[in-house]
Each structure stands twice: as C-alpha cells, then as structure tokens.
Structure 1
Amino acid sequence: MRVIRWGMIGCGEVAEVKSGPGFEKANNSTLIAVMRRNSNLAKDYAVRHNVPKWYDDADELINDPEVDAVYIATPPVSHKEYTIRCAKAGKPVYVEKPMALSYNDCQLMIQECEKVNVPLYVAFYRRALPQFIKVKELIESGIIGDVRFVTVRHFEKPHQEEIEGKNLPWRVIPEISGGGKFLDMGCHTLDILDYILGPIKEAKGSIDNQAQLYKADDIVTGNFVFESGVQGIGVWCFSAFENYEMNEIIGSKGKIEFSTFSSEPVVLTTEEKITKFPIENPKHIQQPLIQTVVNELNGESKCPSSGKSAARTSWVIDQIVKNYYKK
C-alpha cells in the first residue's frame, strides 16, 4: 500500500485544523509540501505543522516530483486555474468547496481532468461524517416512509466586520467567492441533500441584499425538486436577529431533523416516539473524506465526493441565483 504524498496550495484558516492535519493523520497519507504566495506565511505554516517543504509559487509545488496529489485550499476564484494546472501535470486534485465560481467552470475542470485521466475530488466532507451517514441510513431504512419534502432554514446575525464594512471576508466579495454566504455555506446543505436524497433536477429562487452591508446577497429563498419527486424549500438569511440552522426531511410516517453545521443530535420523530442520535464530529473534520480519497487512489474504495457530484450542487446554486449574478 503506497503512501500518498500531498502538496497543499493555500495555508489559510481552513487548513489549520479542519483539513491540513487530516492529510498527515489519515492512513497511508502524508503532507510534504505547502504553498502560499507569501513565503513567510508558507514557511510559518510548514514549521508549525512539521511539513518538510514550502513554496511561494504554485507551479513549483505542482511539479515537485515528490508530490503525488494536490489539495487546493484557496478561495474559489482560483480553483479552476489551479485544477487545470494540476491536471496538465498529471496530479490528482482535491479542491475546496464551493468547487468553482460557476457550474460552467466546474464543467471545464471536469473536462480537463478527464482528458488526462486525473481524478478530481471536492471537499464536501460531510458525505464522510457519521452524522450524515446516519441520516442517509435512516432514510434508506424506510422508517419515515416515503419522503415527501425537505425544509432548510439557515439564519445568522451579521458579523462585526460586516457591520463596520472594514476588512470584509472574501466570502462576501463576489469577485473572489462567486457570490455570498449562501454560496459558501448553502452549498454544504445542498450537497448533503444530494448525497442523502439524490440529485436535484429543478431549482429556482429569489435573492436580494436587504441589509446592504456588502456587495453580495444576504438573503436567498429557494425551491427545488429532486429526481425522485421529493420537493424542497429553503431560506438563508445572513442579516437576521439570531443564529439558527436546521434541516427537516418529512416523510409519510415520520421526519428527521438535523443540522448541517452544529453538533446537535440527529432527531428521528415517528408516531411512536422521538429518538435522538448524538454523534460527535472528529477534531479534523475533513479527515474521514481525505481517507476515502487516499483509499480510492490506492484502489481500495470510492470517495463519495467527486467533481461530478460537486458540479451538480453548483448547477443548483446557479439556478437559484441566476437572476442576481450573471454567470
């Protein structure tokens, strides 16, 4: 069994705990090189995390003969470019979510990787977490009967830097992120619903910037229909008075409630009883998905989050926001 040697492009917040250490802790995996345009910051990350090499040039990392596969941990604006560079170098790619600025960019990434038979994975890591695997198992067991509809509610208070309008995070700068917080966070929920219930075939929505704190949208309402006939509605508001987030899957014999982002238990409700399933997330939350990538690269099993599955989520988002952002 070979050890997959990873190079990482981008050493920001997501790489500190969520993902970076997972490449070292996963079986048959190690992180041997990192890149950031600021060489001092690249070196700082490498020293603190015991990574042997650091670069300030992405091409040097991509073309390092000791790097077997590349993790792209940058904002979405550069995902397409770096993925194509990796494909041309023959290196498997694991790219952060959202996959790209638009569905069209996702398709280009997939095509370039397929041309040279390079695997493409996307960091929708909830597909490998026990909490969401449990929800999928409950649905497939038939305990709530035939699934009828889904509701998604995600509300947040504005952050202080957004209120002040200073040092805005890249997530609310459309030129960098492709949209706003709906794109950055809503994609997680839409992707996990794809994983649990199957692909969405129709979607539309309304979108606005009610609080005018930044250029991106701050409220989105969406309607969507799954290929199975299950219907869904969602509202995402990022200028509300409280923080609240919950999903419900309602069936003919019961319902399942679960959160995309918090550690609240999965709650199963039927006519007979209410059952709670408390499930703890791992410290390095991407590690289980990283393990599935490593396993697939070693020919052992399949990763549940591919470029094609992630592109479906980008398509849904594009349908919902297309009257606000021209992509």
Structure 2
Amino acid sequence: MIEKIVYMVCQVLLVLFVAPLVEGIIKKVKARLQNRIGADLVQPYRDLFKYLRKDAVLAKEASWLTRTTPYLVFAVVLGSVSLLPMAALYSPLTFTGDIILLVYLFAVVRFFLAITALDSGSAFGGMGSSREMIMSAICEAALLLAVIAVLMQVGTTNLGVIVESLLTGGRDLFNYAYWLSFVAFLLVVIVETGRIPYDNPDTHLELTMIHEAMLLEYSGRYWGLLHWALLVKQILVFTLFIDLFIPWGIAKEFTGLAIFEGSIFYLLKVILLGILLAVIETLYAKMRLFKVPKLLVVSMALSVLAIVLQIAV
C-alpha cells in the first residue's frame, strides 16, 4: 500500500516537472525547423517561476469565480494524472469507466474556463468562451468516437485493462481500422492541446484565437497556475494517445527497476509525440475559423469508419 502511494506521488511530480520541459522541446523544434534559434529548453520553467511570484491584477467586475477557477482547474488536472497508466500498467485511481471520467474531467476544465471568461465582462473573454463552447460540442464527440474505436477491440473502459489487453494481444499494423483511429485521435490531440492548424497557442490576435481568448484577463500567479495546469493537461492528452496506440515499453511488473525502465520509455514517447506535433505545426498554417469544425468532422468520420470496419470484421 505504501509503495502504491509513493508511486502515485512520484507520478504526479513527474508530470508536473516534465510538462514544461515538453513544451520547451516543442518550441525549440519549431524554431529550428523555421531556421530560428529559439529559446532554450528551460525557458518554460523560468516563465512559470516569473508568473507564480507576481501579484495578480483582476478586473473590478470579477467575482470569486475568477479567483477560484485557477486553483480548481489545477486540482482537477492533477487528479486526472492518477487515472492514467504511465510508467507502469498500474494507475492509482483505476476503476471501470475511468476513461469516460477522464473525458468528463476535460469537459469540467473547459466549462469553468468558459464561464470565468464571461465573469470579467471582457468582450474578448466572451468571444473566446463562445467559440470554445461551439468547438467543444464537436470536439467531445470526436474524442469519444476515437476512444470507442479502440474500446471495441477490448470491450472495457478501464485504462489499465485496455493497455494490458493491447500489450497481450498486440496491434495489427496492417489493420486499416487501427490507422483510421490513429489519425482520428491524433487530430483530437491537436484540438485538445490547442495547436496549429486548430489554434495557435503563441498568438493573441482577436480574429483567430479560440482558447487563449478565455485567459486574457488573468495575470500573475493565477495565470501561472492556469498555464501550468494546461501544460499538464497537454501531457495527459499525450499519455492517453500513447496508452491507446503506443503502449509498448510500459512496465508490466510493479517493481523499482521495471518502473524506472517504463518511465524512460514513457518520457521518450511523450517527447517524440511532441516533436511530431511541432513538425505538423511547421508544415501547416492556421486554419480559418469557419473551417476549423471540418477538422473535427474529419476525425469523427475516420472514427466511424474504423468502428464500421471492426464490426464488419
């Protein structure tokens, strides 16, 4: 019991520490692909330290909701870390239906960010929250369809059992349903992390921003907590993708050496996925706002095709 508690604490600390590093790697790779030097890999750590030690400035119309949401979002995201198998098959808070709970926790984060954006009375905040809610109605459906396309192969919603089943049964790399669901979920990863071509995390142009518009009213330690929470959420989305499609290398035994080796493989897979997103962001431009839903519709269509193929087989 003590070993499992220590493992849960170490898993949370690992994600908290690695999340800014992965963001730094993504930005560095993007810079090098664009023939720029870019900031060093530890710049996100400096930014977080700078934000967290500054005082926050809020609008006079802001209520208690604006002050509470950063802590609530940070707590929800940290709680979600315990639902996912990362270095080992064991996940601290695993139970039947945990993958569905994870989808709903992502929705909770989105909901509170949206209503908080309206709380300050900012025009940009209202614009961003309305766009985010419209896109989330399609994004959550696309995410669930992509998950269902994988769940049909194992018949359970328990992430630990899913990963174990995929490791035991293996993945047929020549199976069309696998690649269809792979691409569908990759599109969902791009949307959930707010990256090009869906959104640009580095811009504040009012005509194009979706997610960033909801956060413009925050500053200081509140913005630092939200920024850190969103970096952790990015790692969670990466981990879910890895568990469903690239589970190889995860520790099957709950021993110190096996967990250490599993942690190395896990970090490598997260970094490689981050590099892949950096390459995609470099190859494609930001989509026009009214064409963004088409990206999610493509993901849903691919997931439906994967489901139909599995039923037919």
| TM-score relative to the length of structure 1 | 0.23
Higher relative contact order (CA 8 A, sep 6+): 2
Greater strand content: 1
Greater helix content: 2
